Amino acid sequence: MPQTDSKIILKYFPDLDSEQIEQIQRLYPLYADWNSKINVISRKDMDSFYLHHVLHSLAVAKFIKDFLPELDAKMRRNDSAPAETAEKRATPNSKQMFCSNQICVMDVGCGGGFPGIPLAIFYPSASFLLVDSIGKKVRVAQAIADEIGLGNVKTLHGRAEEVDLKEHFQKDKVDLIVSRAVTSLGNFIPWVKDRYTEGILYLKGGSLEEEIAEAQKKCRIRPSRIFQKDISEWFADEYFQEKKVIFIK
């Protein structure tokens, strides 16, 4: 059955507020419209949009909640924030959202906005910089973020290793790097070396033992610094049977 209905998200994330639900519901028609002009998602894959793209992205949120609870609390909405902060939050590209006292996340190789945009919806009190070397995909991601009022998202056309983090976040390192299978771990880790404080959360599928071992050797990472989590332990759908979140401390 086509997964073009956002109910599957509420099945696993029943505590989303009304604004977050509305933002998630608006994603499919917006991506479908953009996809008719610019191919950012496989047209065949659009039938499984919420399962393959939105829910898959939110596996990162499940990991943060379960294994990084202090970070999770800082990234969630602060309901006691003053009214003017909420107003700034709704302003696309608001510089106030990208400041040193917030949790900062860089999505490397974001494509059309995954996992960054679903995570920015889930974590409205964190700042997200979505980076990709393909300009048309970045433009789609920014347009969709603006359309649904994600003031905590900025996009950048470029390469992760060349990003001036201080320009965007007012600090030299982000808290988290997130990404979804843009290359092998051994290639990816050098792109973001010394650019984060908490770790890398990387979405990838299949048997990863050999790839992880090669990355450990190439990047000189101790085995205790890399942790795998099966997404199927959170999401029962068959699609996630071989999907994992890899955490690099």
Answer whether residue 91 shows pLDDT above 50: no
The per-residue pLDDT of the chain, averaged, comes to: 88
Distance CA 108, CA 117 (A): 12
Distance CA 86, CA 187 (A): 39
Band of the pLDDT at 99, cuts 50, 70, 90?
low
User: Length of the chain, please?
Assistant: 249
Q: Please give the biggest Cα pair distance in the chain.
A: 51
Q: What is the pLDDT of residue 95?
A: 45
Report the DSSP beta bridge partners of residue 155: 130
- Tell me which H or E stretch contains 106: strand 104-108
Answer whether residue 98 shows pLDDT above 70: no
| Residue 5: HSE in the Cβ half-sphere, 13 Å Cα cutoff | 6
Determine which of 73-87, 88-102, 195-209 has the lowest per-residue pLDDT on average: 88-102
**Contact predicate 198/175, CB 8 Å:** yes
Q: What is the pLDDT of residue 102?
A: 85
> Rounded mean pLDDT of 8-13?
95
Write out pLDDT tens, residues 105-143. Answer: 999 999 999 999 999 999 999 999 999 999 999 999 999
- Provide the b/e sequence for 84-122 (b: ≥16 CB within 10 Å): eeeebbeebebeebbeeebbbbbbbbbbbbbbbbbbbbb
Write out pLDDT tens, residues 39-88. Answer: 888 888 898 999 999 999 999 999 999 999 999 999 987 543 433 344 44
Band of the pLDDT at 93, cuts 50, 70, 90?
very low
Distance CA 127, CA 121 (A): 11
Write out pLDDT tens, residues 142-160. Answer: 999 999 999 999 999 999 8
Domains in the chain, CATH or no CATH each: 7-248 (3.40.50.150)
What are phi and psi for residue 93, nearest 5 degrees?
60, 25
**Contact predicate 185/213, CB 8 Å:** no
Report the DSSP beta bridge partners of residue 174: 196
The number of angstroms, rounded, from the C-alpha of 231 to the middle of its chain's C-alpha atoms is: 15
**Contact predicate 154/131, CB 8 Å:** no
Q: What is the pLDDT of residue 84?
A: 39
| Strand ranges in 49-103 using DSSP code E only, listed in sequence order | none
What are phi and psi for residue 215, nearest 5 degrees?
-65, -40
